[in-house]
Each structure stands twice: as C-alpha cells, then as structure tokens.
Amino acid sequence: MNLRKGNLMSVRDDVKVLDATIRDGGLCNNFEFSDEFVKELYKTNVKSGIDYMEFGYKASTSMFDENEFGKWKFCKEEDIRAIVGDNPSDMKIAVMADVGRCDYKTDFLPKSESVIDMVRVACYIHQIPAALDMIEHFHTLGYETTCNIMAVSQATTDQLSQALEMLKNSNVDVIYLVDSYGSLFPENACELTQFYLNAVEGSGKKVGFHAHNNQNLAFANTIETLSYGVSYLDATVEGMGRGAGNCSVELLLGFLKNPKYNLYPLLKFIEKYMKELKDKGVVWGYGLQYMFTGHFNRHPREAIDFTNNKREDFSEFYKSLLDNY
C-alpha cells in the first residue's frame, strides 16, 4: 500500500515552509545579526513565498543577560516591529519559547496587540505537561501554536505515545518531529512520521519536521517526511543552524513544485549576505565531528567544542565517543 501523499510532480496546499535562519542560525553567532540582515531576509522571504519566518527565541531576561546576546534571543515586540512594521505581507511571524527558559505569562501580549502570529513551544519529552500549560496560555491569547518535541530519537515509543495522546487532546495546531541530533535516516524518519500522523488522526492537527544535518541527511529526511504527509517544513538559508545546521531552504524551494515559491530572490540574498557572515568567521555545517555525534545519537555539544577548539584529530575524537557510547 502506497502511503505517500502526492508525487514528485504534484502540489500539496497543506505544505508550509518555515524559515528558521534567525532562530537556529542565531545559535551560531549569538544572535548578533544586523538589522539590515534581518530586514533583507524578511523581504527576501516575502518575495520567495515563505509561509512563516521565525525571528528567534522569546527568552527570559531574568535568566539571560541581554548584554551577552543579540536582540533575537529575546524577540521584543518593538524589535520585530522595527523590521516588519505591521507586517502587511501574507507571511506569518513566529517565535520560539523554550519550556523553562521564558517568562511566558508576562512577556507575551495578546495576539490582537502583537505582530507575532505563531508561538513554537520547544520541550523535551519529559516536559510535555509544562509545554501543554504554555500552549493553552498562548491559544487563549489568540496565537497559532506548535509543540516541538526535541531529541525525539532518544524517546521511547511508550513516551511518544503518551505525549502525542496528550497533545492530540490539547489546542496545539502543529506537532513537530524534531531530529535534534541529526541521527535519523529516511527510513526511520518515515516510520516516525507515520507514528505521529496515526496518533493525531482525526484531530485536524498538522505534523511538522525539523531536521539537523549531522549525517548530510537533513534535506533527504525533510522531503521523505513530506512525502508521507508532514505539512510544516523547517529550513534555513544555506542550512545555517546549530552545529551541522539544518535543511537548506534553497534546496527545499528548488524541490517544491508550488509556483508560489520563488528561488531567485533567495539566491540574491545568499550572494550578498551569507558570504559576509562566513567571512566574519561564523561557522556551521556538516563535518566529521557532527557525523560522529549523529551516528551515536548524541547531543552535538562535544562536536561543537571540537569545532570551536579548531581540533582536527578526528580519529581520537571518534575513539573518545566510542569509549563512552
């Protein structure tokens, strides 16, 4: 039985592309993007037909020192409005709120007073009850909501079943399958996709996918999950994101057949702004060190340290991971 939704020539109206460059990419440069960069990316995304643009985190200013991060760690209303005004475009604005790292009851205006459209609640599997409390609060304020269950590759089937059942009975709009460690292959990404879709069947809720590129599979896994019914697809410009980075939005727009998406404006942005970032020393993308942590289904923090320390002793690093596997 073919469970794929559509084919390589078809267009699915349920598919939405979310650009997470400022949020996930901000983990590479401490969220120190210039206003020009963010404004030009906003304009580029509008021209390219992107459905959602995630501006960053809504982190707690009591937990994190504002002097140590760029403004997109905090996504204050006035900072977003300085970029988008009242956002006259069709593209929606998103921010991420981490369980335990935000003051969600005080830092969010009612949707009627905010230019933000969607709040993406990120949590680990054991934090689902706290995530649900946040989701219901944001729903009451009038926002679209997602629940991004991180490190899903380390969750048990029983844990996932319980979490998805709880989310199915909530007011969340989209439930994200997140390959935090870049450890999934298309085969098990497909199995998890069907697990998520079956769990929420009949609820009207959508499923999203957020990939990491530790094994050079972010794009492959994204289009594989898409083909089995995932609707919301995360991507970043040139894959910019923590460690090995994410699915590249230019690859995704080049693949999708919907004429609403336009690759050309994105290429112009890459030419002008992404090279400048790299020239300044901002680093992300596939490397052997990230392949290893993806292979062992581990958080990339050790590989990030390896990269930051400019190490090149890959065999020794591999052996150290193997010894602690």
Provide the pLDDT for residue 325.
Answer: 78
The string of pLDDT tens digits covering residues 254-298 is 999 999 999 999 999 999 999 999 999 999 999 999 999 999 999
- Angstrom CA distances, 315 to 253, 269, 286, 289, 301, stand at 37, 37, 17, 10, 18
Are 79 and 61 spatial neighbours (Cβ–Cβ below 8 Å)?
Answer: no
Q: Mapping DSSP to helix (H, G, I), strand (E, B) and coil, where does residue 207 land?
A: strand
Strands (E), the chain: 16-19, 52-57, 92-98, 118-123, 144-149, 174-178, 206-210, 232-235
Question: What's the one-letter identity of residue 200?
Answer: V
Provide the pLDDT for residue 164.
Answer: 98
Are 215 and 182 spatial neighbours (Cβ–Cβ below 8 Å)?
Answer: yes
Count how many residues are written for the chain: 325
Indicate the burial class of 168 (C-beta count within 10 angstroms; 0-12, 13-18, 19 or more): middle
Give the predicted TM-score (pTM) of the model: 0.97
Kindly provide the b/e burial profile for residues 91-111, where b requires at least 16 CB atoms within 10 angstroms of the residue's own CB: bbbbbbbbbeebebeebbeeb
pLDDT at 2 > cutoff 70:
no
Q: How far apart are the C-alpha atoms of 184 and 151, rounded to whole Å?
A: 11
pLDDT at 184 > cutoff 80:
yes
Question: What's the one-letter identity of residue 240?
Answer: M
The string of pLDDT tens digits covering residues 79-103 is 999 999 999 999 999 999 999 999 9
Are 119 and 58 spatial neighbours (Cβ–Cβ below 8 Å)?
Answer: yes
Average pLDDT, rounded, for the chain:
97
Q: How far apart are the C-alpha atoms of 68 and 47, rounded to whole Å?
A: 33
Mapped to the 3 state alphabet, what secondary structure does 280-311 carry?
CCCCCCCCHHHHHHHHCCCCCHHHHHHHHCCC
Q: How far apart are the C-alpha atoms of 96 and 185, rounded to whole Å?
A: 26
pLDDT at 32 > cutoff 80:
yes
Q: Mapping DSSP to helix (H, G, I), strand (E, B) and coil, where does residue 76 land?
A: coil
Find all residues with CB under 8 Å of 40, minimum gap 6, and list them: 269, 272, 273
